[in-house]
Structure 1
Amino acid sequence: MKALKYTILISMLSFTLLASCAQMSPSIVAQTEIARDDHDALRTYYETLANEAESILQKNKKIIEECEAHPYQYGAQGQDLRSHSSANIRKYEKILKESLYYADVHRKRSIEQDQPINQTEVDLELEFMGTESAHPGKEL
């Protein structure tokens, strides 16, 4: 009898523990994602990323100019600061280049997605596959 009580108690505790650790609202994660075929949103994302990279790039270029214009103010840390800023410039130039490329790709795909489908190509594909035309009144 005691064993049955302990078994029930342990199973209830384990169920309570598992239920309390479970994720309650997985929809929060789904709301922040961008759909793969939403090219306008992806274009905006990459353009924003490029703008942020551009601003950080300009800040690092100003730091290098300041270090070179007034090396006596920075002392031994000036060389480290210039080296670090140069590395950041290379990194953010790469990010800027990639972001602009992807923004352009998604801009083109968005334009293509908005254009109507060429029906003759669809009819030719259907004919090649051996099915009927999408337009029942037309003959191929």
Structure 2
Amino acid sequence: MKTKSGKFLAAISMIGLLASLSAPATAVDNSADTPEIRAAIQNATTRSDHEAIAIHYEDAASQMQAKVNEQKELLEQYQNKSYLYGRRAQDLQSHTEALIRNYERTIAADIQEAALHRQMASKLDENHATSEAQSQELQASYR
């Protein structure tokens, strides 16, 4: 009876451990996508608005890259010194690899979003220059 309950408790604790390790891997910290930035995107009308949004996404990507570097150091530790972590070594390695993959996806999305807003800003700048040139031509024709 004692061994059955011991095995049961061990199984329950292992399920709890696996659940706690896998939960953060799916929940990527995408701090760049906040309600404030979504509102700024919806209300962006000028070149400087889009430039500010692009800078925000670039900063978020660089912060996420720092997290990737930190996780890569941890992964190296788990791989080189797996004997220190016992049975959990493989779980820790796979969890860390998943975090790195998710962070890298977030970095790629942030860089893509920044590039999109830089492109919008340059188009607004081109449109402004074109409309300003047309305005000057019209003023010159009235003189």
Q: Percent identity?
A: 26
* CA positional deviation for 1:111: 2.2
> Which letter maps to 2:50?
H
- The match for 1:103 is 114
Report how many residues are paired.
100
Residue 130 of structure 2, aligned match among 109, 118, 121:
118
- The match for 2:52 is 41
* CA positional deviation for 1:117: 4.2
RMSD: 3.1
> Which letter maps to 1:105?
L
Distance between the aligned counterparts of 1:136 and 1:71, measured in 2?
Answer: 76
- The match for 1:65 is 76
| Higher RCO (CA < 8 A, seq sep 6+) | 2
Distance between the aligned counterparts of 1:92 and 1:136, measured in 2?
Answer: 53
Distance between the aligned counterparts of 2:116 and 2:105, measured in 1?
Answer: 17
TM-score by length of 2: 0.58
Structure richer in helix, relative to its length:
2
Question: What aligned pairs does 1:74-113 form with structure 2 within 5 A after superposition?
Answer: 74-113=85-124
Distance between the aligned counterparts of 2:50 and 2:125, measured in 1?
Answer: 10
Question: What aligned pairs does 1:21-32 form with structure 2 within 5 A after superposition?
Answer: none
Q: Secondary structure at the match of 2:69?
A: helix
Distance between the aligned counterparts of 1:90 and 1:110, measured in 2?
Answer: 30
Distance between the aligned counterparts of 1:137 and 1:36, measured in 2?
Answer: 32
Distance between the aligned counterparts of 2:139 and 2:82, measured in 1?
Answer: 80
Distance between the aligned counterparts of 1:137 and 1:72, measured in 2?
Answer: 81
Q: Secondary structure at the match of 1:118?
A: helix
Larger Rg: 1
66 and 117 in structure 1: CA distance in 2 versus 1, 3 angstrom threshold? same
| Moved >3 Å (runs of 4+) | 134-138
Gaps of 5+ in 1: 1-28, 123-133
TM-score by length of 1: 0.59
